[in-house]
């Protein structure tokens, strides 16, 4: 009986776990848990780093796309603004040209009247008081007409002594001149006018051929005079 009790006590002692083994197993488990946690943490950090890298890459691509769209829109805006500015300038220029054309058309019909006033002023020579009074009235009307033309931007050309320019002048006659060199205007036959810097009417003028042309013509005439007697002498000799 006593032996059985002793055996039971020994068996119970064998069943009691060793505290050292328990502590060792616990520490190993904790180490494994820490290792696992560290691995999980590293994996999470790796995943987060990859996600962050992908996010940055996507943001860079999106930013580059937005910059391209911005440059495209900016170019379109600049082009549209330039086109609108050109359109505005063209409209203003066209309106100015149309205005000048309308004024020019109206003034062109008035210029012959001005020419007649100027011819009459040169020809009229009042002698008595009544004629002088009439002449002064005529001069007043002429001055009013000239002032109206000036207000519309009309300016007369001054051509005598100027070099002939086909853009401004129309040559009616070319003649030798001792006073003027070649291609210089010697006389104004009909006055020309400018309107806002443009030609309203070309001036009708006489143009110098220069003194050399006159001398050459005189020499040709002398040669002809000299040749005529010779030809007569030849005819008389033949007879």
Tokens of 78: 């600049």
The answer to the question of residue 138 being in a domain is yes
Is 238 strand, coil or helix? helix
Q: How far apart are CA 138 and CA 118, in angstroms?
A: 11
**pLDDT at residue 234 greater than cutoff 50:** no
Rg (CA), the chain: 57
The torsion defined by the Cα of 101, 102, 105 and 109, in degrees rounded to 10, comes to -150
Span of 25-29, 78-82, 198-202 with lowest mean pLDDT:
25-29
- What percent of the chain stands above pLDDT 70? 72
**pLDDT at residue 47 greater than cutoff 80:** no
**pLDDT at residue 170 greater than cutoff 90:** yes
Q: Pick from 239, 223, 187: which is nearest to 208 by CA?
A: 187
Number of domains in the chain: 1
Predicted pLDDT of residue 23 = 55
Predicted pLDDT of residue 159 = 92
The answer to the question of residue 224 being in a domain is no
Q: Pick from 154, 158, 167: which is nearest to 111 by CA?
A: 154
Predicted pLDDT of residue 179 = 87
- Where in the sequence is the domain holding 118, given as residue range(s)? 107-152
Q: In what order do the strands lie in the sheet with 193-195?
A: 154-156, 193-195, 198-201
* Average pLDDT of the segment spanning 161-178: 92
Question: Higher model confidence: residue 26 or residue 228?
Answer: 26
Q: How far apart are CA 74 and CA 81, in angstroms?
A: 10
**pLDDT at residue 238 greater than cutoff 50:** no
Q: Among the ranges 3-7, 53-57, 93-97, 124-128, which has the highest mean pLDDT value?
A: 93-97
Q: In what order do the strands lie in the sheet with 169-175?
A: 169-175, 203-208, 185-190
Residue 237 CA from chain centroid, whole number: 81
Is 191 strand, coil or helix? coil
The answer to the question of residue 135 being in a domain is yes
- Rounded to 5 degrees, φ, ψ at 177 are -150, 135
The answer to the question of residue 115 being in a domain is yes
The answer to the question of residue 139 being in a domain is yes
Q: How far apart are CA 73 and CA 114, in angstroms?
A: 59
Predicted pLDDT of residue 226 = 44
The answer to the question of residue 112 being in a domain is yes
Predicted pLDDT of residue 117 = 85
Q: How many residues does the chain have?
A: 239
Q: How far apart are CA 132 and CA 123, in angstroms?
A: 13
Is 165 strand, coil or helix? coil
The answer to the question of residue 33 being in a domain is no
Question: Higher model confidence: residue 239 or residue 93?
Answer: 93
The answer to the question of residue 66 being in a domain is no
177, 210 in Cβ contact below 8 A?
Answer: yes
Torsional class of 196: left (φ above 0), alpha (ψ -120 to 50), beta (otherwise): left
């Amino acid at each position: 009986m006593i032996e059985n009790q002793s055996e039971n006590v020994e068996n119970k002692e064998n069943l009691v776990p060793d505290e050292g083994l328990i502590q060792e197993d616990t520490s190993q488990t904790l180490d494994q848990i820490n290792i696992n946690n560290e691995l999980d943490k590293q994996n999470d950090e790796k995943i987060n780093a990859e996600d962050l890298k992908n996010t940055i890459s996507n943001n860079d691509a999106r930013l580059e796309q937005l910059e391209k769209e911005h440059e495209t829109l900016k170019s379109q805006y600049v082009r549209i603004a330039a086109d609108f500015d050109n359109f505005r300038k063209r409209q203003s220029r066209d309106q100015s040209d149309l205005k000048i054309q309308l004024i020019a058309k109206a003034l062109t019909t008035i210029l012959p009247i001005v020419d007649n006033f100027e011819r009459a002023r040169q020809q009229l020579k009042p002698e008595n008081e009544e004629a002088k009074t009439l002449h002064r009235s005529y001069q007043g009307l002429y001055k009013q007409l000239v002032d109206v033309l000036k207000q519309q931007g009309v300016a007369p050309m001054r051509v005598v002594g100027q070099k002939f320019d086909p853009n401004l002048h129309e040559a009616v006659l070319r003649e030798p001149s001792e006073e003027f060199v070649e291609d210089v205007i010697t006389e104004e036959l009909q006055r020309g006018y400018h309107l806002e810097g443009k030609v309203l009417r070309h001036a009708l003028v006489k143009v110098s051929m220069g003194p050399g042309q006159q001398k050459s013509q005189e020499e040709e005439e002398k040669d002809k005079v000299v040749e005529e007697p010779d030809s007569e002498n030849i005819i008389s000799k033949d007879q």
